[in-house]
Structures are given as C-alpha cells and as structure tokens.
Amino acid sequence: MAYRVVITKAGGPNVLDIQEIPIPEPAEHEVCIAVHYAGINFADTLMRLGFYQPRPPFPFTPGYEVSGVVHALGKDVEGFELGQRVVGLMRTGGQASHVLTDASRTLPIPDEISLEAAASMPVTYITAHHMLHHLGNLKPTDSVLIHGGGGGVGTAALQLCQWVGVTNVWSTASAGKADIIRSYDAVAIDRHNENFVEIVRSQTNGRGVDHILDPIGGEHLKRSLSVLAQGGKLYTYGMSSAAPSSKRSLWKALKALRSRPRFDPMLMMSRNQGVFGVHMGTWIDEDVMQEQMQNILKGIKEGALTPIIDSIYDAKDVAKAHQHIHDGKNIGKVLLKFVE
C-alpha cells in the first residue's frame, strides 16, 4: 500500500491526516514515481487554510514537486527506466509515497545532484527563474528587491541574481535571516524593525528598483509598488498577509484582500511599469517549463546554484512542518520524507 498527506478541511495544522491508498497505475504519458522527498511550500499552508486558489475541493493531497525513483511507466513512455532517479513537477498531489506525473514534467536527475536537492528545485527555483529571467530578462546592471529573502523562493532568487552578476540587491526578512542574505552580497533589511521603502528610496536616490518579488500581498504590495522604478517590473506570487499565523482567520484574510492595490493603467503606462501575477502550478507551456528546469539543473551542476534545505520532516510529521513554516523559522526549503 501507498500513503499520502490529506488536507481534510480548512483549518489549522490539526486538519492534516495521513491516509493509505493503493499504488497508482500509470496511464499513457504518465510515470509512477516512488517518492523519496516532496517539497512543502507556503502555498500548501494557505490552501490548508482555504485561502489559496486554485485548489481541489477538500479533502485533497497537496504538493507540487517530488523526487524519487521510477516505479512504473505508462505503455507509451520512452526515455525512462525502472529505478531511475527523477524529479517530477506536479499540478497537485505530490505529497504521497507514490505519485503519477506527466512524462513531459518528469526529468532525470544527474548523478551530481542529490534527491534532496532535486526536490527543492521545482517550485522555488522555477518560480524565481520565471520571474527574473522569463518575464524579467534580468541583466547585471538591474536592481532587485526580494521580499522574504530567507525562504525557499527568496534564497533561490538571491542565488540567481548572484549567478547573473547583479550587484544592486536588497532583501527583506526577519533579523535572524540577515546572514544568509548578506552571504549572497545583498543588503539585508529587517522586515520587523526597518522600513524598506525608506531604505530603498535613500539608497537609490529616489529612483527605486527594476524588479520587485513580493509574496506578501495586501497593503505590502502597495508599498512595493511605491519603490518600483520607471520601466520596472513587480511580481506578485503569494498572499502571506492573509495568513499571519497557523490559525484560520477570515477577518485577517478579508483585510489583506481589501488592502490590495488598485492598479492605475494610465499611471503605469506613463511610467512603463508592469505587474505580473505568477503561479507556476497553473503554468501550461511545457516547453518553457522544461527549458527553465534545464537551465536550473545546469546552474546546480556548475555550482552556481545550491538549494538551501532548512529541514526534512518525516511525512507523518507534516503538521509540524506546517507550523515551522507558519512561524517563519525556515531558512530555505522544507521537505517531507517518504522513505524509511
């Protein structure tokens, strides 16, 4: 028998359950992966609270990324063999001991890359790469502001900036995560005790920055927009302000939604600015996804990109993993382990 994580209903970490399931059989174009590690992301916690869309109806299994070995192949799948180490990109349902992935979203893992590192790549690195490179056409002369620089996407974005040679980078995080930000030659801003708007305006002589990555949303997104340079690009890829704790609060979620900025098209036209909403779980262009994964794998093989793994929890301790992320304690990626 296989088993999976299940979000039974909207609520705190106590609504998470582990359930046994039959090992799934791959259909055409599918690969069955025996999962060793599955990524867990802040989006999973928001879905558990009922504040993230799109999501399946309750009960459902979350998870966008896995690493493991090929357990079975659909009859028309070529280029893989049983027992081969692979990484899979999921639309949902990744947090299980055995999963089915599209062959087009399954990649062999080079020998130089561990299964742990592979499971840390798809969501965090592709999200950061998609924003900065696919949408942003990042150049060494650009300037970047990264919110949540100590998290999975944040550390990936810091590494991508360093890889390109960007020298003007600011990043917000709690004070305890300043060292990791500075290790990538970025300016650390204490999000609890410092005003990033004042700091960025002062240090750019009022110009602002070319790229801003904001997973917080709400009123925070307005403040980010206020320091976006002419010709700049703002990427919004989350709404953590809707879930400041592990408990479900409809009032706080509604407050965050109501405080979102109302974008003025005429003003944006006059400033040549762009605002992008990013959710890689709903991205449908497989060629772009494959290209980005290959570029990330290249960076890891070259040593330019190194996934930061904060902690690995046994899948049966998924509630503890959710609480750890809610508490903002993680620096880098949190994984769930599905093999003994």
- Per-domain residue ranges for the chain? 2-121+307-337, 125-280
Give 210-252 pLDDT, tens digit per residue.
999 999 888 889 999 999 999 999 999 977 655 555 565 555 6
CATH architecture, domain defined by 2-121+307-337: Alpha-Beta Complex (3.90)
Report the percent of the chain where pLDDT is more than 90: 74
- State mean pLDDT over 95-113: 94
d(CA 221, CA 35): 37
> What pLDDT, on the 0 to 100 scale, is given for residue 227?
97
The rounded distance, in Å, linking the Cα atoms of 213 and 153 is: 9
Q: What is the mean pLDDT of the chain?
A: 92
> How many Cβ atoms from other residues are within 10 Å of residue 25's Cβ?
10
Separation of alpha carbons 181 and 161, rounded Å: 12
Closest among 35, 172, 11, 167 to 93, alpha carbons compared: 35
Per-residue pLDDT tens over the stretch 72-85: 999 999 999 999 99
- In terms of Cβ atoms closer than 10 Å to its own Cβ (0-12, 13-18, 19+), residue 143 is buried
pTM value is: 0.90
Query: Would you identify the CATH topology of the domain 125-280?
Result: Rossmann fold (3.40.50)
Where does the pLDDT of residue 257 fall: very low under 50, low under 70, confident under 90, or very high at 90 and above?
A: low
Distances (CA, A) of 226 to 142, 169, 214, 256: 18, 17, 13, 18
The amino acid occupying position 250 is: L
pLDDT digits (tens, 9 = 90+) for 91-103: 899 999 999 999 9
